[in-house]
Amino acid sequence: MRVLVYSDDAGTREKVRLAIGRRPAADVPLVEIVECATQPAVLKRLDSGDIDVAVLDGAAVPAGGMGVCRQAKDEVYDCPPICVIVERRDDRWLADWSRADAVVSQPIDPIALAEAVAGLMRRRSETRISSH
């Protein structure tokens, strides 16, 4: 499955990539990571239809992951499930506004992020099976 990771910060993208690993859980497929550093690149990849799950950095600059998530949910046909990384636990309400499917807070807990991504991968697999 193809997982998009968005952040303007290469260090954040690396932390996310390492947390997800090659397979975030034993019962999900291997992961191919697609990294994006800009909002236009994210929307273009999501529009292509070849992304299964996205992880967006809520603190990305100039376009934060929560705004990108809301835009994607409004504009991308069959938008994949999205996990947003928020700066603080108290920012979860913003993630709700963005219509994120999962939320993980900073500092990134690799186990929590892997579990969130694996859950979204399972969900994406189920929707693909039920739509065929």
**What is the CATH number for 74?**
3.40.50.2300
- pLDDT at site 65: 95
pTM of the predicted model as reported, rounded to 2 decimal places: 0.94
The whole domain housing 120 covers 2-130
Instruction: Indicate the number of domains in the chain.
Output: 1
Percent of the chain past pLDDT 90, that is, above it, reads 86
Residue 7 tokens read as 């952040």
Residue type, 120: L
Residue 84 predicted with pLDDT over 90: yes
Q: What are phi and psi of 38, to 5 degrees?
A: -135, 155
State the pLDDT confidence band at 130, using cuts at 50, 70 and 90.
low
State the pLDDT confidence band at 61, using cuts at 50, 70 and 90.
very high
Q: Does the CA dihedral 100-128-23-60 come out positive or negative?
A: negative
**Mean pLDDT, the chain, whole residue set:** 93
